[in-house]
Structure 1
Amino acid sequence: MKALVWHGTTDIRCDSVPDPQIEHPRDAIIKVTSCAICGSDLHLYDHFMPGMKSGDIMGHESMGEVVEVGPEAKGKLKVGDRVVIPFTIICGECDQCKRGNFSVCERTNRNGHIAAKAFGHTTAGLFGYTHLTGGYPGGQAEYLRVPFADATHIKVPSTLSDEQLLFLSDIFPTGWQAAVQCDIEPTDTVAIWGAGPVGQMAIRSAILLGAKQVIAIDRVPERLDMARAGGAITINFDEESVIERLNELTNGKGPEKCIDSVGMEAHAAGTVDAMYDRVKQATMMETDRPHVLREMAYVCRPAGTLSVPGVYGGLLDKIPFGAIMNKGLTIRTGQTHVNRWTDDLLRRIEEGQIDPSFVITHTVGLDEGPDMYKIFRDKQDGCIKVVLKP
């Protein structure tokens, strides 16, 4: 089969690789009908995340048709079922899964001992996302082996298009969880740093959850246009002070709720801390650039909430923890507990409350994937979200 394969920093190729096989009775094989490039895939493309090996298959946003089912998965799946595959691999049986904390499933990371050394405890296995999370082949491919498939799937109806459903795999529930973690009240201003795909979903989720005012912070014109179309007030951080504008929009009190949809590769307009982060990262004295976290801690209203769906990989420097503690801020983070949210989100799509396909700007074949990684990373050609058709 054809698949997008990582060969090193900024080196993604469309290769011929062996077809996946059933390896465990709970497995299933799906024929991928649509998959996507995620912003967090760019952390792998630029090799900011550790644990990648040459030959790893990329991708964690996939859907398709079941073509083979292991004997222990047949009670939940059958050949011909149409499914979206969450990026988190879940057993459905451990203590964390029973609590709905699916992204920290205790059983699915087959390299859990490595994750435990890095993080203190293992987290769930993830598709196409480093050997720290299991080294599982990803879904930017013609076929995908789904481990623990009886639990790791979302059955979807034939009445909706792939484009409407695909993002149930990651970015829609990720934006939704980011907003839910804010405990939004009708009087709240929600400020969202980053108007990429996750930020766009967080904007619309915050509005669906009843926020009084949603503010999106970015500098890419196409992203800011899309954010305004979704109901947000926008701030272009290249053209105005984020802190001054947020204070202006909140009568000097600051937003009650702040969402970091950027993560480890934050950019800023010539600030001292951004230059400091670039130097520290280049000299391997820091893994991540936390400008957004610093700015959120500074501007957030006292007793407010910082919600962090953006991916961080390692060690951060100069985090103003004194401000966080003395202002009484709550920080809520985490990879997304996808299956916790999908029944509700699928219902909202079916009822027409939201059509997640709005975020798609490019649809191409798998063989064009390597070029699209660079276009997406460099924000060329108005690119916000890429869907691949194997």
Structure 2
Amino acid sequence: MRAATFQGKGDIDVRQMPDPAIVNPRDCIIEVTSTAICGSDLHLYDGVIPGVAKDDILGHEFMGRVVATGKESTLEVGQRVVVPFTIFCGQCFHCSEQRYSNCDNSCPVEDQEVAEKAFGHPMAGMFGYSHLTGGFAGGQAEYVRIPYSDVVPLVVPEDIPDERLLFLSDILPTGWMAALNAEIAPGDTIAVWGCGPVGLFAILSAFQQKAGRVIAIDGVKGRLDMAEQLGAEPVNFHETDILDALKQMTGGVGPDAVIDAVGMEAHGFAIDNIADRIKQTVGIGQDRAHVLRQAIMACRKGGRVSVPGVYGGKADLFPLGALMQKGLQLRTGQTHVRRFTAELLDLIERDVIDPSFLISHRLPLDEAATGYRNFRDHQDEWIKVVMHP
């Protein structure tokens, strides 16, 4: 089969790779019909996530049709499914609490030690996202093996196009959970850093969850324009001091809750971010945490800090004093996708939301390298890339 593979920092190549096979009775194999490049994939592309090996198949946003099943799969050949990026067993303590991204059993034993050293505990498995999360082959391919197929995939209706359903795999539930973690009360003012795909869905979700105002912060005009179309008030960090602007916009109080939808590769020329970037470039640091620092400083006293943006290591100059002295709540985590898919699918079926507005470019899988390069380098135009194997 053809698949988009990692060949080194900034090097993606579509190559012939072995077809996946059933290895466990709970497995299934799907033929991929649509797959997307995620902002989190750029962390791998930029070489800042450890544990990515040459020839690893990338991609964790995908959907398709079942073509083979193990004896214990509950799926049938021909069914159409969206596959969450988090892999979970459905049986451990965390799965019983619907904390699917904290599953104890889905990361293979040989990779658990690496993750435990990095994070204190092993992580759940994830598709196409390094050996910190199991080294599972991803969905930017013609076919994918799906472990735990009796619980992981979401069977979806035949009459809704892929483009309206694909983002149930990751970024739509991620934006939704980001807003839920902000504990929005009706009328609240929410500030969202980052108007990429997750940030835009966090804005959409915040309004669905009854926010009164959403302030959108980014440095890319095209993204800010999309945020404004969703009803947010755009602020360009290249043109204004963000902390001052947020104080002025909230009468000196600060936002009720803040959402960091940027993560470990923050942009801009703030002094702390320049220092982080140097450390990241020379290999003595992993995270550029400027946005998280700024969000904590901006949030009102007693407010909430929600972090869907991906971080992978340690950060200097963390404003722990502000977090404690202001009495802020901090909530983070990889998304528990399947906890939210039924509710979000219902909103799609009832035409309350149509996630396909996000798609800016459609490419064949063979042009994956072009998609990655432009998605990173031309963010004003390349908002979201969907590929079709």
> When the two structures are superposed, what TM-score results if normalisation uses the length of structure 1?
0.98
Q: Give SS of 1:240's match.
A: coil
Contact kept? 2:221, 2:380, Cα under 8 Å? no
Quote the Cα distance in structure 1 between the aligned partners of 2:318 and 2:182: 21
Q: For 1:4-15, what aligned pairs fall within 5 Å after superposition? A: 4-15=4-15
Quote the Cα distance in structure 2 between the aligned partners of 1:58 and 1:386: 14
Verify: 1:66 aligned to 2:66, yes or no: yes
Q: Give SS of 1:31's match.
A: strand
Residue 283 of structure 1, CA deviation: 3.1
Residue 282 of structure 1, CA deviation: 2.6
Deviates more, 1:111-120 or 1:308-317: 111-120
Q: Give SS of 1:40's match.
A: helix
Residue 285 of structure 1, CA deviation: 2.7
Deviations 1:336-365 (A, max 9, x none): 000000000000111111100010000010
Deviations 1:289-338 (A, max 9, x none): 00001101111000001100000010111001001100000100000000
Matched with 2:315 is 316
Deviates more, 1:57-66 or 1:114-123: 114-123
Matched with 2:357 is 358
Matched with 2:32 is 32
Q: Give SS of 2:191's match.
A: strand
Which one-letter code corresponds to 2:264 in the other structure? M
Q: Give SS of 1:57's match.
A: coil
Quote the Cα distance in structure 2 between the aligned partners of 1:169 and 1:205: 16
Quote the Cα distance in structure 2 between the aligned partners of 1:180 and 1:80: 34
Residue 277 of structure 1, CA deviation: 1.4
Label 1:381 to 1:215 Cα distance change in 2 as closer, same or farther (>3 A): closer
Q: For 1:258-269, what aligned pairs fall within 5 Å after superposition? A: 258-268=258-268
Q: For 1:24-103, what aligned pairs fall within 5 Å after superposition? A: 24-73=24-73, 76-103=74-101
Q: For 1:187-226, what aligned pairs fall within 5 Å after superposition? A: 187-226=187-226
Matched with 2:106 is 108
Q: For 1:104-253, what aligned pairs fall within 5 Å after superposition? A: 104-110=102-108, 111-253=111-253
Paired residues in the alignment total 387
Stretches of 4+ aligned residues off by more than 6 angstroms: none
Matched with 2:288 is 289
How big is the alpha-carbon RMSD for the aligned residues of Structure 1 and Structure 2? 0.9
Quote the Cα distance in structure 1 between the aligned partners of 2:103 and 2:314: 23
Quote the Cα distance in structure 1 between the aligned partners of 2:302 and 2:168: 32
Quote the Cα distance in structure 2 between the aligned partners of 1:263 and 1:17: 32
Verify: 1:301 aligned to 2:274, yes or no: no
Unpaired runs of at least 5, structure 2:
none
Label 1:139 to 1:230 Cα distance change in 2 as closer, same or farther (>3 A): same
Which one-letter code corresponds to 1:58 in the other structure? L
Which one-letter code corresponds to 1:86 in the other structure? P
Q: For 1:13-28, what aligned pairs fall within 5 Å after superposition? A: 13-28=13-28
Quote the Cα distance in structure 1 between the aligned partners of 2:226 and 2:298: 24
Identity fraction in percent: 54
Which one-letter code corresponds to 2:31 in the other structure? K
Quote the Cα distance in structure 2 between the aligned partners of 1:19 and 1:284: 35
Label 1:295 to 1:380 Cα distance change in 2 as closer, same or farther (>3 A): closer
Contact kept? 1:61, 1:169, Cα under 8 Å? yes
Label 1:381 to 1:321 Cα distance change in 2 as closer, same or farther (>3 A): closer
Quote the Cα distance in structure 1 between the aligned partners of 2:281 and 2:184: 38
Contact kept? 2:48, 2:280, Cα under 8 Å? no
Q: Give SS of 1:316's match.
A: coil
Quote the Cα distance in structure 2 between the aligned partners of 1:99 and 1:44: 30
Deviations 1:355-377 (A, max 9, x none): 00010000010001111100001
Unpaired runs of at least 5, structure 1:
none
Quote the Cα distance in structure 1 between the aligned partners of 2:118 and 2:240: 39
> When the two structures are superposed, what TM-score results if normalisation uses the length of structure 2?
0.98
Q: Give SS of 2:77's match.
A: coil
Deviations 1:190-242 (A, max 9, x none): 10000000001000000000001001100111101110111100001111111
Q: Give SS of 1:282's match.
A: helix
Matched with 1:257 is 257
Which one-letter code corresponds to 2:296 in the other structure? A
Quote the Cα distance in structure 1 between the aligned partners of 2:163 and 2:315: 36
Q: Give SS of 2:164's match.
A: helix
Label 1:49 to 1:329 Cα distance change in 2 as closer, same or farther (>3 A): same
Contact kept? 1:375, 1:381, Cα under 8 Å? no
Quote the Cα distance in structure 2 between the aligned partners of 1:113 and 1:320: 30
Residue 380 of structure 1, CA deviation: 5.2
